[in-house]
Structure 1
Amino acid sequence: MNIFQLIARSIIRKSFHLSVWTIEQFYDIAVYEEKARQLDELPEGTLGKDIAACLKRNGLRLVPGYESHDLKHVLLGFKMTPVDEIRLQAFMLGNGNYTLPSFAIFIFGALFLPDLWRTFYKDYLDGRQARPVSSWTIEDYAHCNTAALRAAVFHYAPAKKQRITTAGIALVGAYTAITLGTLGMLYCLPFLFSSSMEDLVGAGFPFVGGAMMAGAGLMALSNLANGSRKVQVAADAHMHQ
């Protein structure tokens, strides 16, 4: 591992630790420590027990508001490290979790870790083949057997989809809008610092247009994710029956 890779990993590690620390300042940590203690009291082999053991092993605690995120680390076999956090987001994007935090974390990590792009792509493909789990919560699955849940997630045969669907077209359109809008904003950005009024006016309108285009793409992704999540909830309810 060269010096640039070491620096990139150090930046990511410090960024994630700072993010967790910032989140914790707005919550009563004692509540989440009690929740972790309750998970630790569950029988051996349950997902809740395994989550508590993983947190202990890594010297961590439940992140307020992101408890179910820790569930996915343990369930899917990703370590609780900054690098595996990026890998988890790649998996979840493939799994249909089109949320702004997921995109932001993945893009941040991918920019700093180009040496792992092949790994990220493989994780993305694995997510596409797995049962959708973005709606799974600790409250619903902590008491379930971890091995059985993993089998249900990874030994999953997704229904064959038509090559061209309305949702597929909308998804491609959303990604295209986000990409083109972001590129347009980046192209116009240097001109916004110009002292020339012509540059400011000429770049200002395209910049706003790019922002609107990217925002529309994000909204479309959010709507697609909400629709997908409703289907997942129905499938999860059926699996519990």
Structure 2
Amino acid sequence: MNILQVIARRIIKTSFNLSVWTIEQFHDVDVYEQKIKDMKQLPNGTLGKDIANCLEEHKLRLVPNYESHDLKHVLLDFKMTPVDEIRMQAFMIGNGNYSIPSFAIFIFGALLLPDLWKKFYKDYINGKNSKPIKNWTIEDYAHCKTSSLRELVFNYSSENKTTFEMKNLIKFGSYLAIVLGTFGMIFCLPFLFSSNMADLVGAGFPFVGGAIIASAGLISLSNITKQTKLQTGNIASR
């Protein structure tokens, strides 16, 4: 590496350390230390145990409210280095994590490390072709085998993608049903207090219909969530 590349990496590392230090000043870190101790008690090979070992090896601790960040480092096998931090953000953006912190970190790193743009692009494509994990949490997956989770994430077939897109479509329809049903109920509610029988009948049926539509949306959304967690849990426990 030339002197500019060395300086760029040091700037990134210093910036991350400063950001973590600032976050820790506003949180009770003892809570997160206890969480690491709990994960150390998990069986070898589980994601939680691997996260605890990784943090201990690098003399780090969980960042308050950013625990999933360390989960992704270990799950995706990105090292705790400035370069791999930017690579992971490239992967996550491709994976659908369109958040301000992800874009900010990636853009900051990409500007300082133009020599790695090809690698960042490859990580982006890998993230795009992998199972979405932006909502994964330590609480949900700490007990699962790391190797099985990696297989689940990286061996994401086109069939699974189609299923995922269909689930997203159903989820959107569920949210739409909840919103429209609730809106219909609210719209009809004032007429239910009318002394006019025509208003009561005219508003009563749409109110009941809105309640049924909203309830159906809630049930559908609940079933999708349960099925997703069950399928993931079954694969991860193999």
Match of 1:141 in 2: 141
1:45·1:146 contact (CA, 8 Å) conserved in 2? yes
Match of 1:86 in 2: 86
Q: 1:234 to 1:4 in 2, by over 3 A?
A: farther
Q: Which amino acid aligns with 1:142?
A: A
CA distance in 2, matches of 1:96, 1:233: 21
List per-residue Cα deviations over 1:202-224 (Å, max 9, x = no partner). Answer: xxxxxxxxxxxxxxxxxxxxxxx
Match of 2:108 in 1: 108
Tell me whether 1:240 sits opposite 2:233 in the alignment.
yes
1:95·1:129 contact (CA, 8 Å) conserved in 2? yes
CA distance in 1, matches of 2:18, 2:109: 15
Superposition CA RMSD, Å:
1.9
Offset, 1:238: 3.9
Match of 2:30 in 1: 30
Offset, 1:2: 0.7
CA distance in 2, matches of 1:232, 1:87: 30
- Say which one has the larger Rg: 2
CA distance in 1, matches of 2:62, 2:15: 18
CA distance in 2, matches of 1:102, 1:236: 25
Offset, 1:235: 3.5
CA distance in 1, matches of 2:47, 2:99: 25
Q: Secondary structure at the match of 1:9?
A: helix
List per-residue Cα deviations over 1:109-166 (Å, max 9, x = no partner). Answer: 00000011011001001101111110110000000011111111111114467xxxxx
Match of 2:207 in 1: none
Query: Under a length normalisation based on structure 1, what TM-score does the superposition of the two structures give?
Result: 0.68
1:135·1:233 contact (CA, 8 Å) conserved in 2? no
CA distance in 2, matches of 1:7, 1:143: 39
Offset, 1:83: 1.6
List per-residue Cα deviations over 1:57-78 (Å, max 9, x = no partner). Answer: 1110001111111001000000
Q: 1:236 to 1:91 in 2, by over 3 A?
A: farther
Q: Which amino acid aligns with 1:26?
A: F
1:92·1:124 contact (CA, 8 Å) conserved in 2? yes
1:89·1:105 contact (CA, 8 Å) conserved in 2? yes
Offset, 1:80: 1.3
Q: Secondary structure at the match of 1:153?
A: helix
Offset, 1:236: 4.1
CA distance in 2, matches of 1:234, 1:12: 40
Match of 2:151 in 1: 151
Q: Which amino acid aligns with 2:16?
A: F
Match of 1:176 in 2: none
Gaps of 5+ in 1: 162-166, 168-230
After the TM superposition, which residues 128-207 of structure 1 pair with which residues of structure 2 at under 5 Å, given as runs? 128-159=128-159
Match of 1:50 in 2: 50
| Number of positions where the alignment pairs a residue of Structure 1 with one of Structure 2 | 173
- Equivalent pairs: percent with the same residue? 64
CA distance in 1, matches of 2:50, 2:62: 13
Query: Under a length normalisation based on structure 2, what TM-score does the superposition of the two structures give?
Result: 0.69
Gaps of 5+ in 2: 163-167, 169-223
1:135·1:232 contact (CA, 8 Å) conserved in 2? no
2:144·2:233 contact (CA, 8 Å) conserved in 1? no
CA distance in 1, matches of 2:132, 2:138: 15
User: Which is further off, 133-142 or 77-86?
Assistant: 77-86
CA distance in 2, matches of 1:128, 1:111: 22
2:131·2:154 contact (CA, 8 Å) conserved in 1? yes
Structure 1 runs of 4+ with >6 Å offset:
231-234
List per-residue Cα deviations over 1:164-222 (Å, max 9, x = no partner). Answer: xxx9xxxxxxxxxxxxxxxxxxxxxxxxxxxxxxxxxxxxxxxxxxxxxxxxxxxxxxx
